[in-house]
Amino acid sequence: MTGLAALTGGAGFLGRHVAAALAARGWRLRMLVRRAPDLPELAEHWIDLIPGDLSEPAMLERLCDGADLIVHMAGVVKAPNKAAFMRANAEGTRALAAAWRARAPNARFILVSSMAARAPHLSSYAASKRAGEERLRALAGDGDFRVLRPGAIYGPHDEESLKVLKLAAGRVQVMLNAPDARVSLIAARDAAEAVAALAAHPGGGALHELTDRRREGYTWAELSETAALALGREPRAIRLPALALRTFGAAGGAFAALTGRAAMLAPGKAREILAPDWGADPALPAVPPEIWEPRIGLAQGLAEMAAWAKATGRL
């Protein structure tokens, strides 16, 4: 199946990888954008650009009109308060779902959510991602859709995961959780290939978590050691006490409250980081292997990210 794919977030970190993966499979692309995107990897691929954002119903209807596939990736990972998270991640999804049902009811809809959505009590971000999933389901009716919850996505073009890699570039590598805590990871190219592969198959309302082959996740010791080796450094890991992380999170929350500006490390984000098990939920079905399987291991993925960071002067 190919045709016209309508994307939100297509110019973002994951979105640019998804756009490239879809284009490689023959999809024509339409993107909702706030400004002209810088996507050199798609320079030879014509893209229909729709100016606007998730708060503009008319632009969302233009985006969806005549589409065969809708992939929703836009949203925020940091915001000054819960209301801002809900506007972007929950109400934005509701508005796009309404446009889908009104203008392209036969299109396939893929929502890229977050593994955080399974624990909405932890943070405003997690609650807003879960609410977005629920709003989609409430409006879907007999429409064909699928929800994807990726673990921590990393790779070239991501300034946030680059901060973690920069920690590994120091004389010591900081571990952010307990010795037995686990975190799931997936390289952006693998996540994009999953979206593109699933675009050709009916969703039936399925919910999947996306991880690399280590579905049980990685300990922070494994992550810090692999990151150090990707940079050609000898691993020297130290553990940041949970109290310190909570203190930094509280400071970020206070900064956001005082200034109205979002802080990446806020109390909710600290609680997410300190959660003991972000391995894949065994109760949820994996993507069928005949459709998609992850190919990029952590060592390869971090090496690719390190090479990009060095080539672009970021590291």
Which residues share a beta bridge with 71?
7, 110
> Residue 254 falls within a domain, yes or no?
no
14, 192 Cβ separation under 8 angstroms: yes
What's the whole-model pTM score? Answer: 0.94
Q: Would you state the pLDDT for residue 105?
A: 97
Number of domains in the chain: 1
Residue in this structure with the two tokens 């894949």, named with its chain if needed? 280
Which residues share a beta bridge with 108?
69, 144
> Residue 300 falls within a domain, yes or no?
no
> Residue 271 falls within a domain, yes or no?
no
DSSP 6-72: EEESTTSHHHHHHHHHHHHTT-EEEEEESS----GGGTTS-EEEEE--TT-HHHHHHHHTT-SEEEE
Length of the chain in terms of residues written = 315
> Residue 116 falls within a domain, yes or no?
yes
Q: Would you state the pLDDT for residue 65?
A: 98
Those residues whose C-beta lies under 8 Å from the C-beta of residue 49, and which sit 6 or more positions away, are 30, 31, 33, 36, 37
> Residue 115 falls within a domain, yes or no?
yes
Give the CATH number, domain containing residue 206. 3.40.50.720
Closest by CA to 163, choosing from 227, 73, 238, is 227
Q: Would you state the pLDDT for residue 265?
A: 81
> Residue 121 falls within a domain, yes or no?
yes
Domain that holds residue 112: 4-157+185-216+278-295
- Distances in whole angstroms, Cα of residue 278 to Cα of each of 37, 68, 220, 282: 33, 33, 11, 11
85: which DSSP letter? H
Task: Output the tens digit of pLDDT for each of the chain's 315 residues.
Answer: 789 999 999 999 999 999 999 999 999 999 999 988 888 888 888 899 999 999 999 999 999 999 999 999 999 999 999 999 999 999 999 999 999 999 999 999 999 999 999 999 999 999 999 999 999 999 999 999 999 999 999 998 888 888 878 877 777 777 788 888 999 999 999 999 999 999 999 999 999 999 999 999 999 889 888 988 888 888 787 888 888 888 888 888 888 787 878 777 888 998 998 899 999 999 999 999 999 999 999 999 999 999 999 999 988
- HEC secondary structure over 150-189: ECEEECCCCHHHHHHHHHHCCCCEEECCCCCCEECEEEHH
Closest by CA to 70, choosing from 130, 135, 114, 136, is 136
> Residue 85 falls within a domain, yes or no?
yes
> Residue 282 falls within a domain, yes or no?
yes
The H or E element that residue 237 is part of is strand 237-239
148, 111 Cβ separation under 8 angstroms: yes
β-pairing, 218-219 with 182-183?
antiparallel
Q: Would you state the pLDDT for residue 37?
A: 85
